Amino acid sequence: MNRVTTNTTEQMTDEETRERFTDFYEKSYRLTRSLTNAYIVCFNFDLEEGTYSSLKGAELYDFLAVNKGADYVIENWLSTLPESSVDIMRAFVDLSTVDERMGEKDIISREYIDASGKWYRANLIVSERKEDGHIRSVTFATQDIDEMKSSELEWKRAIRERLDFLSSIASVFYSMYHFYFEGNVYEELSFVPRGKFPTRLLDKAWAIWCSNDLVQESLPGHEEFLDLSTMPMRLTLQGTLSDEILTKPLGWINVLIVPYRRDIAGNVTEALFLTRIIDERKKAEIRQREELKIANSKAYHDELTTLYNRHGFNSRIDEIFSAPEKCKVAVIMMDIDDFKAVNDTYGHDAGDVVLKNIAGVIINVLGNDAVYCRWGGEEFNVFLKDADNPEAIAEKIREQAENTVSVFGDYRIKVTLSLGVCIAEDMTKTKIAKLINTADKNLYESKHTGKNKVTSETV
């Protein structure tokens, strides 16, 4: 290649050459100015003269006056690349073979990594051809594709990992689907790589499956699991979702919904939906588990009020105190005032109605924010964790109980509660036995000082 260090329009004496030269640069200028926003580096190489011009962002007469040898700029540019990219890119920008390599193409490209590890794409774009079709000049331009390349690599890696994963579990699951929550589509998965899988609308298919394939009589208790609108949030918070559902075509199936991809905030955006058929032995296990669940429920819950019994309450509290936290806790003991008179006056069946209604008051006030039980007879016990104002909660229970009317036949029965509260500011520095004993002492203080009141103490 001839090395030319200077070549300006002032040195040209041949008017035709000067006009051709100017026309060539005007075309190059228009081309590269249109690409200014897309490309980082733009040079024009004149294959006949062996010169180059820096084109990006330059005014016409600026770049006409500043030309150096093409080999000069190429070597300088190659010196900025890591060794792993130099040989590949040297062959790509070899101007002695570019005419042959490009042929009738107007652009060729090559991706490479720079010294900082970022991905770029280099392009050779035909600026001008001769009458015989051979290239007279090309524009060399580079663009930043790091973000796009990273996304592409991530996608290819994800596809490869998915195919590997699905192949490994193909013998386990009856059916497998990929849910794309953001696009509201799904795809049935295949184990043979075949590019992008066809997708269908997720919400419509889900509604059809729930209505047509599932045995409707068996669905009570599965509503939350089947709620598609909350599924991404539950997957984000809970991880894998699992349920056993009775279907018309397959009988019992086990359904797993597994988080597959999350966004930058950690929210699940894609999930795998997997099903497997449960055989007769599994159905027997389900029946056995349900029977055991019923038996455990009876062992830990009061049959009349459905609250924990004392055994269930103590078991739950032991779990909580096995890993105490630095937070406020409280125990509220309560007793129905003069409950014996209710039984004596209206009978034990009427007393049972009163007990169930008081249990309902406790549930209504506390919801799921406490552990509560029927401690025994007409006495109830509540454990509060991290509650702002246990005294106010106890007072609310007392007030609602006072305003509750229990209807039994023609009778309208009203009762009141006496309550004792014990509060500890730091759970790690107290024992449950101390809380219960102090609350019980305060309960009897309320009983002996007028009833229908709350007595509280902080320990």
On whether the 297-458 domain is CATH 3.40.50.300, my answer is no
Angle of CA points 35, 37, 43, to nearest 5°: 50
Distances (CA, A) of 340 to 230, 318, 336, 352, 443: 49, 32, 9, 12, 17
- The 10 Å Cβ neighbour count of residue 168 is 10
Choices 1.10.3470, 2.160.20, 3.30.70, 3.30.450: CATH for 150-278: 3.30.450
- The 10 Å Cβ neighbour count of residue 339 is 17
CA distance 135 to 48: 9
Task: Return the HEC string of the chain.
Answer: CCCCCCCCHHHCCCHHHHHHHHHHHHHHHHHHHHCCCCCCEEEEEECCCCEEEECCCCCHHHHHHCCEEHHHHHHHHHCCCCHHHHHHHHHHCCCCCHHHHHCCCCEEEEEEECCCCCEEEEEEEEEEECCCCCEEEEEEEEEECHHHHHHHHHHHHHHHHHHHHHHHHCCCCCEEEEEECCCCEEEECCCCCCCCCCCEEHHHHHHHHHHHHECHHHCCCCHHHHCHHHHHHHHHHHCCEEEEEEECCCEEEEEEEEEEEECCCCCEEEEEEEEEECCHHHHHHHHHHHHHHHHHHHHHECCCCCCECHHHHHHHHHHHHCCCCCCCEEEEEEEECCHHHHHHHHCHHHHHHHHHHHHHHHHHHHCCCEEEEEEECCEEEEEEECCCCHHHHHHHHHHHHHCCEEEECCEEEECCEEEEEEEECCHHHCCHHHHHHHHHHHHHHHHHCCCCCEEEEEC
- The 10 Å Cβ neighbour count of residue 152 is 12
Smallest CA-to-CA distance from 353 within 301, 294, 411 is with: 411
**Percent of the chain at pLDDT exceeding 70:** 78
**Torsion angle defined by CA atoms of residues 366, 369, 374 and 378, in that order, rounded to the nearest 10 degrees:** -30
| Contact (Cβ atoms closer than 8 angstroms) between residue 457 and residue 394 | no
Q: Which CATH architecture has domain 9-144?
A: 2-Layer Sandwich (3.30)
- Amino acid occupying residue 110: R
Name the segment(s) of the chain with CATH classification 3.30.70.270. 297-458
Name the segment(s) of the chain with CATH classification 3.30.450. 9-144, 150-278
Low-confidence ranges of the chain (pLDDT < 50): 1-12, 32, 36, 57-66, 191-197
- Amino acid occupying residue 76: N
Q: Is the dihedral of CA 215, 216, 218, 221 positive or negative?
A: positive
- Determine if the pTM surpasses 0.85: no
**Torsion angle defined by CA atoms of residues 290, 294, 297 and 303, in that order, rounded to the nearest 10 degrees:** 150
Tokens, residue 134: 């051979």
Which pLDDT score, from 0 to 100, does residue 198 have? Answer: 55
Tokens, residue 287: 């029946």
Residue found under tokens 């040079």: 43
Angle of CA points 421, 423, 425, to nearest 5°: 170
CA distance 342 to 415: 9
CA distance 231 to 225: 8
Which pLDDT score, from 0 to 100, does residue 194 have? Answer: 41
Which pLDDT score, from 0 to 100, does residue 396 have? Answer: 94
Which pLDDT score, from 0 to 100, does residue 51 have? Answer: 82
Q: Which residues contact residue 151 at a Cβ distance below 8 angstroms, ignoring those fewer than 6 apart?
A: none
| Contact (Cβ atoms closer than 8 angstroms) between residue 359 and residue 306 | yes
For 27, counting Cβ atoms within 10 Å of its Cβ (0-12 exposed, 13-18 middle, 19+ buried), the class is middle
Which pLDDT score, from 0 to 100, does residue 58 have? Answer: 38
